[in-house]
Structure formats: structure tokens, C-alpha cells
């Protein structure tokens, strides 16, 4: 799911076991995306800082989740229902709604990341990918009965309540360990903001009779935006 490890096939059991590592994996991706800004002062780049952060996330994940967001935007924007919805969702061609969704998403991420850097909130850039991956597990656990075939469906079927509890526990510990105990309120705000798009994705999945990896990838990105917004609102 990233460039940080070689691409290869895994068993369903291994995929399920990997869910426990999602917070740590997200934090590792956060280091890739935010490390540059935490080590050097790149404020001379101005607004380009936020775009560079967004581009590093796109590079590290091979654009996997952005592709999922484009698919969901296309299928949702079309107004199609049932199997036609899923045909559009799985179509490799990107339509107007997919383009608009990705442009809006990347623009928001670049703007929010740039604003965080301007206010000295580099820690938000580090923690956003971590919470994003944790929200994948949360949505997958709640939406297990909606699992469709594919890798996303495997994650859904393996996302048990016990695994979700483990992931949330590690998410809290890593968040407070990185940002400090005083960041409790920001964490709660970030979770509340991230719950909104995840709830809407769940509602869309129920209306369309299924949920796949595109939904999970969209949840990750929208939750990352929620984290950046939470830090700015709490500052």
C-alpha cells in the first residue's frame, strides 16, 4: 500500500494481521511526508510547501487513495445506483466528477498543510496520515457486512472489533507521545471531524449495497484533511 515496502501477494490472514500495524504505518508515511519540513525551514517556498507535502504523500502511496477518491467521486456524482454505480466506480477511466474530486481534495490538503506550516504546526502533518489509516480500520469494522470482492473486501472482513480496539489504543498512545498530553482536545476534535465523512461514506455504501477499497482510501484522505483542520481550529 506504499513504496516503503516491495509489492507482493499476501494471504487473507496476513492482510488481516496487518491492520494492527496501520497506526505505525501511517506514522511512517507521516515521516516521509513531513520529515522534510520538520528538519528544514522551507518557508521561503510559500504556498508551494503545502503542495510539496501533498505530492510527497501521493508519491509515497503511488496515488492509491487518490485513485479511490476519484472513483467514488465519479460514481457518486453520476447519481447512478446499484450495479451501474459499481460499474462507474471500477471503470479505469476518470470522469469529470473524479477530476473535480481529486483537484478539490489536493487543493484543500495543500492549503491546510501550508497553513499548518505557517503557524508552526508541523506536528499536524506528521500525525494526519496516522489517523487516516486508523480511520480505515474504523470504517472497515463498522461496514463489515457490506464487504465486496477485492483487497478492500478482505480488509473489511478482517476488521474485527478487537483489532479496532487495538488500533485505536495505539493511535491514542502515538498521538499523545508525539504531540504531548496537551493534545487531547485536538485528538477529540480530529476524531469528531473525521467521523463526518466516514459516516457519509458508510451511508453511501449502505445505499449502494456494498463497500470496497475505494471507500476506505477516500476515508483515509478525508480523515487526513480533518486532522489538519482540527489543528488549525484548535490553534
pLDDT tops 80 at residue 119: yes
C-alpha cell at 104: 478539490
pLDDT of residue 152: 87
Closest CA to 201 of 68, 64, 82: 68
Give dist(CA 235, CA 232) in Å, integer. 5
Helix, coil or strand: residue 149: coil
Dump pLDDT digits (tens) for 169-218. Answer: 999 999 999 999 999 999 999 999 999 999 999 999 999 999 999 999 99
Mean pLDDT of the chain: 93
What is the mean pLDDT of the segment spanning 100-108?
A: 97
Dump pLDDT digits (tens) for 26-42. Answer: 999 999 999 999 898 88
pLDDT tops 90 at residue 150: no
- Residues whose CB is less than 8 angstroms from the CB of residue 233 and which lie 6 or more positions away in sequence, other chains included: 189
Is the Cα dihedral 99, 104, 109, 111 positive or negative? positive
Residues β-bridged to residue 211:
147
Q: What are phi and psi of 211, to 5 degrees?
A: -155, 135
Distances from the Cα of 189 to the Cαs of 27, 99, 197, 235, in angstroms? 19, 29, 14, 12
C-alpha cell at 134: 486508523
Note the pTM of the prediction, 2 decimals. Answer: 0.94
Amino acid at each position: 500500500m506504499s513504496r516503503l515496502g516491495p509489492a507482493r501477494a499476501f494471504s487473507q490472514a496476513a492482510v488481516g494481521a496487518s491492520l494492527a500495524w496501520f497506526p505505525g504505518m501511517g506514522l511512517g508515511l507521516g515521516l516521509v511526508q513531513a520529515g522534510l519540513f520538520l528538519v528544514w525551514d522551507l518557508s521561503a517556498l510559500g504556498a508551494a510547501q503545502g503542495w510539496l507535502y501533498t505530492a510527497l504523500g501521493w508519491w509515497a502511496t503511488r496515488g492509491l487513495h487518490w485513485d479511490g477518491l476519484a472513483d467514488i467521486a465519479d460514481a457518486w456524482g453520476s447519481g447512478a445506483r446499484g450495479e451501474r454505480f459499481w460499474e462507474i466506480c471500477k471503470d479505469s477511466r476518470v470522469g469529470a466528477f473524479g477530476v473535480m474530486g481529486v483537484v478539490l481534495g489536493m487543493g484543500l490538503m495543500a492549503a491546510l498543510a501550508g497553513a499548518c506550516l505557517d503557524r508552526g504546526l508541523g506536528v499536524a502533518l506528521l500525525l494526519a496520515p496516522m489517523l487516516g489509516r486508523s480511520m480505515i480500520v474504523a470504517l472497515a469494522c463498522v461496514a463489515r457486512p457490506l464487504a465486496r470482492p477485492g483487497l478492500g473486501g478482505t480488509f473489511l472482513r478482517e476488521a474485527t472489533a478487537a483489532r479496532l480496539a487495538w488500533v485505536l489504543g495505539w493511535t491514542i498512545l502515538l498521538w499523545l507521545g508525539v504531540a504531548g498530553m496537551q493534545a487531547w482536545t485536538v485528538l477529540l476534535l480530529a476524531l469528531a471531524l473525521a467521523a463526518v465523512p466516514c459516516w457519509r461514506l458508510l451511508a453511501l455504501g449502505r445505499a449502494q449495497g456494498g463497500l470496497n477499497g475505494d471507500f476506505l482510501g477516500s476515508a483515509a484522505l478525508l480523515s487526513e484533511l480533518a486532522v489538519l483542520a482540527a489543528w488549525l481550529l484548535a490553534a
